[in-house]
Every structure is written in structure tokens, then in C-alpha cells.
């Protein structure tokens, strides 16, 4: 079993290094770490995440020892259970869940409207399980199981194709025209006060271009304001004046600050601000889910050797509430950056009455790595899960929109200074997933726990394992 666990960890390590290599580049380029230290820290993260894959193979190994070849069919439940644990334990890192690979496979991704991303993960793991059983199993029952999986895939694809063709959600709700700004501000100038005026002028110029386009809402990216918007009236005045003159609401990304008081240290927040048609701040949302090693450093006392990174990373405080904005009678939410990979965040916003999902981000950190694509596609999954349109404003791209079926409506290129207009709709219905949540994950955890209990009884000697049912190779 130790060998089974280590083989799983090795597979997981390859998986996470291959998908998260860009973290080392970010930490070396923007975090001030030496190249070796950045890659070592990224490798440490990959090892941490691979523990969950090792747990999966260990669990599956116990299932095979208990049930023989039939135990392999437990793989989808066990995989989903360990994905859920990865998303909620330790560093809480639900990036590149297996199901997110289907974001652009439109017929298949419709399943997310019923089961969420974990149901997609289970489906992919089930197909892989069928392939393994077909290669190793020789009994007719196993062959029938493989045929059943094939039939299930056909049903999922056929239903997904019909759902997209029906397109009922694209005809519902009230239309709204949204303008997304992509300022393309280099990361090394964003925090430099010498460039503050130029950055604001760039965004004001882009905003003026789009106001005559009939836009009913203008969205600036995460941290697009290079000062504390609500604490600096002088620098904020031109932006407030523009919103009041145009009679168009703005959503802006900015930092917020609270001074130390009552024995509490000063606090910094990553914030989205709603500016009304009169130029006044109408509401604000403080980011709840922060980025590990981007907005805070987890386990600082243990990771004392990354002092340079600790100094470079902004030590933000998480917000406490998923605030939904009321924009001239329209209800919409703003997920900030990393929050878009959390299905639970989008679900909390929709439970709060959000009719449109928006996300603002600054992906300049990622340069031209695959991270920007991964980020965009994982956000697109939220639209299918919640049955909402989703619009996204990113500093350097990708900015764009997807419809409730995950179909791409518009997407900019990386590192372009541009603005894009998208026509979307405000929706109020609920998907099955929005109503039931992560039932697939909870059932998978129950199955995994039951397997541990059953194999624990087995280990106490109630009955020996039937090794004749386990294929030897």
C-alpha cells in the first residue's frame, strides 16, 4: 500500500507541475525570489497537492484488495472525494479540477448545470475507469459495465446537445449592454505612484470611447485604481465626474484600507466598488477568497525561508460577506480574480439574488503562460453551473463573456489595450446544481468513508482478501 500511495503521488506531482509551472515564474519575476527558490517552492506546492492524488490511489488500492477487480469501479467516487478535500483543506486550492478540462466541450459541460464541476470530474474518472477495466477485466459483468459507461456518455452528450440547441436561457430575462475595459497596464508599473495619473487617464479615455456606445454598465479590472478610491477624493474626482456626466454606473477594482484601532492591526482589502450614476459610491465588495502566495502567505512560521516573498506579497484581509450589487434595479455580483474558480462563491452570489455573474481580475502576473487560459475557462464553468451569463474584465486579458451554456460570446487577445462591448441578459432562474449544490461530492465522501470502515473491519481479520479476483500483471 505504501508503493500504491507513492505511485499516486508521483502521478499527482507530474500533473501539478505540468499545470502549475507558471507559479514559479510569477514568484521569481514578481515575488523577488531567486529562480531556484521559486521552483523549489512551486515544487513544494506540487508535492502538497499530490498528497491528495496519493490518497486517491491508496483508497482505491484498499478497494481493490477488498472487492477485487470490482473495486476499480470505486475510482470516480474516490477521485471526487479527494478533489473536494483538496479544495477545502490546507491551502484550499481547487485549481484545475479534472472536470474543468471540459469547459470548452460544450455538449459535455452542460452536465455541470446538474452536478457542478465535481460531476464532470466523476464522469471523466468513470470513462478512465472503464478503459482500465476493459484492459484488465475479463468477466462479462465488467464488459457490461464498460458498455453501460459508453451508453451514459452518449446520453450526456445527446442531452447536452439538445439543451444547447433549445437555448431557452438565451431568450429569457432583460438585456443589458456591458462594456469591459482592458487597460493592459504592466505589472511593474501598477504600484508605482509615478504612473498613477497615466493609468487613470488610460481608463478614463477607454471609458469615454464606450459611453457613446449605449453601454449600461462599465467595468474596470481588478486593482485598476492605483490609489485608495474611497479614501482619496482628489484623485477619484475625475472618475466620479465621468460617471455622473454619462449617467452610467461603473464597477471599479481598488484596494481598501482600515487603520489600526481597538488593538487590531491595520487591514487591507482587495475590493470592487460600485459607482452610481450620480458619481457616488453605492456599494463595495471585499474579496473573501484570497490567493495563497499572491495575497497572503500561508503557514508563514513554517515557510520562514521565503521572507522575500512574504515582504513582496500584499497581506490582505479576507472580506466577510458575498455582497450583491444593485445597479439601477439590476442585481449582479463581482467575483475578484481567484474567486472565479470556486463554484461555492458563484452559488453564494446567486443565492443572494445575482442575475449576472461578473469577474474582475489582473492576470498580468501570468505573462504569456497557460495560467490566463486556465483562469478564463474555469470561470466559464460558473456560468453553466449557475445558469447565468458571465462577463470578465481583465487588466491584460482575457476579457470577454460566455452565455449560460458556456458558449464564448467574446474574448480579447492578451496584452492589448482595448474595450469590448457585450450584450448579455439578466436571468433569475435556478439550475438543478444551484438548488442542490455539491451533492456529488458529499455522496463521494460518504462512499470513501464507508470504504475505509469496511476495509478496516477486513484488516481486523473478519475474512481474508480474495486475491484470485485481483488481476496480476
Mapped to the 3 state alphabet, what secondary structure does 33-87 carry? Answer: CCHHHHHHHHHHHHHHHHHHHHHHHHHHHHHHHHHHHHHHHHHHHHHHHHHHHHH
From CA 358, how far away is CA 220, in angstroms rounded? 11
Task: Give yes or no for a contact between 363 and 396, defined as CB atoms under 8 angstroms apart.
Answer: yes
3-state secondary structure of 369: coil
Given 287, 339, 377, 385, which residue is catalytic?
287
Catalytic residue among 222, 295, 339, 377: 222
**Measuring CA to CA, which residue among 97, 104, 70 is closest to residue 82?**
97
Q: What is the total residue count of the chain?
A: 473
In the set 77, 83, 295, 337, the catalytic residue is 337
Cα 334 to Cα 272: distance, rounded to the nearest angstrom: 7
Q: Catalytic site residue 77? A: no
**For residue 218, with 0-12 CB atoms within 10 Å meaning exposed, 13-18 middle and 19 or more buried, which class applies?**
buried
Residue 249 CB neighbours (<10 A): 23
- Give the CA-trace dihedral at 375, 381, 387, 389, to 10 degrees: 30
How far apart are alpha carbons 121 and 111 in whole angstroms? 10
Q: Is residue 287 flagged as an active site residue? A: yes
Instruction: Supply the residues annotated as catalytic.
Output: 222, 287, 337
Amino acid at each position: 500500500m505504501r508503493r500504491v500511495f507513492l505511485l499516486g503521488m508521483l502521478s499527482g506531482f507530474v500533473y501539478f507541475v505540468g499545470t502549475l509551472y507558471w507559479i514559479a515564474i510569477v514568484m521569481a519575476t514578481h515575488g523577488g525570489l531567486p529562480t531556484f527558490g521559486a521552483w523549489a517552492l512551486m515544487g513544494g506546492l506540487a508535492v502538497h497537492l499530490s498528497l491528495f492524488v496519493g490518497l486517491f490511489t491508496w483508497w482505491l488500492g484498499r478497494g481493490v484488495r477488498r472487492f477485487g477487480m470490482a473495486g476499480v469501479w470505486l475510482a470516480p467516487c474516490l477521485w471526487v472525494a479527494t478533489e473536494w478535500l483538496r479544495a477545502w483543506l490546507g491551502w484550499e486550492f481547487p485549481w484545475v479540477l479534472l472536470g474543468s478540462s471540459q469547459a470548452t466541450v460544450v455538449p459535455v459541460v452542460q452536465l455541470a448545470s446538474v452536478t457542478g464541476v465535481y460531476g464532470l470530474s466523476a464522469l471523466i474518472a468513470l470513462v478512465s475507469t472503464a478503459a482500465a477495466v476493459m484492459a484488465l477485466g475479463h468477466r462479462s459483468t465488467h464488459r457490461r459495465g464498460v458498455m453501460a459507461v459508453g451508453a451514459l456518455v452518449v446520453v450526456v452528450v445527446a442531452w447536452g446537445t439538445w439543451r444547447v440547441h433549445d437555448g431557452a436561457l438565451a431568450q429569457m430575462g432583460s438585456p443589458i449592454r456591458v462594456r469591459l475595459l482592458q487597460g493592459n497596464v504592466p505589472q511593474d508599473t501598477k504600484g508605482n505612484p509615478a504612473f498613477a495619473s497615466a493609468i487613470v487617464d488610460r481608463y478614463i479615455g477607454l471609458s469615454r470611447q464606450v459611453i457613446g456606445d449605449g453601454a449600461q454598465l462599465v467595468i474596470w479590472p481588478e486593482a485598476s485604481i492605483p490609489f485608495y478610491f474611497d479614501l482619496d477624493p482628489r484623485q477619484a474626482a475625475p472618475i466620479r465626474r465621468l460617471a455622473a456626466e454619462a449617467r452610467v454606473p461603473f464597477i471599479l477594482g481598488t484596494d481598501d484600507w482600515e487603520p489600526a484601532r481597538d488593538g487590531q492591526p491595520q487591514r487591507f482589502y482587495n475590493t470592487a466598488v460600485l459607482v452610481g450614476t450620480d458619481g457616488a459610491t453605492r456599494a463595495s465588495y471585499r474579496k473573501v477568497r484570497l490567493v495563497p502566495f499572491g495575497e497572503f502567505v500561508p503557514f508563514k512560521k513554517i515557510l520562514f525561508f521565503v521572507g522575500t516573498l512574504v515582504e513582496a506579497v500584499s497581506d490582505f484581509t479576507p472580506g466577510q460577506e458575498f455582497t450583491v450589487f444593485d445597479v439601477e434595479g439590476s442585481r449582479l455580483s463581482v467575483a475578484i480574480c481567484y474567486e472565479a474558480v470556486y463554484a461555492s462563491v458563484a452559488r453564494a452570489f446567486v443565492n443572494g439574488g445575482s442575475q449576472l455573474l461578473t469577474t474582475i481580475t489582473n492576470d498580468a502576473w501570468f505573462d504569456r503562460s497557460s495560467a490566463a487560459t486556465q483562469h478564463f475557462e474555469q470561470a466559464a464553468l460558473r456560468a453553466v453551473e449557475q445558469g447565468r451569463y458571465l462577463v470578465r474584465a481583465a487588466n491584460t486579458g482575457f476579457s470577454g463573456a460566455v452565455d449560460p451554456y458556456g458558449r464564448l460570446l467574446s474574448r480579447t487577445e492578451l496584452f492589448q489595450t482595448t474595450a469590448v462591448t457585450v450584450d448579455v441578459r439578466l436571468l433569475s432562474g435556478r439550475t438543478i446544481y444551484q438548488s442542490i449544490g455539491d451533492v456529488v461530492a458529499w455522496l463521494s465522501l460518504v462512499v470513501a468513508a464507508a470504504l475505509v470502515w469496511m476495509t478496516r473491519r477486513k484488516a481486523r481479520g473478519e475474512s481474508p482478501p480474495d486475491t484470485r479476483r485481483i488481476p496480476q500483471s
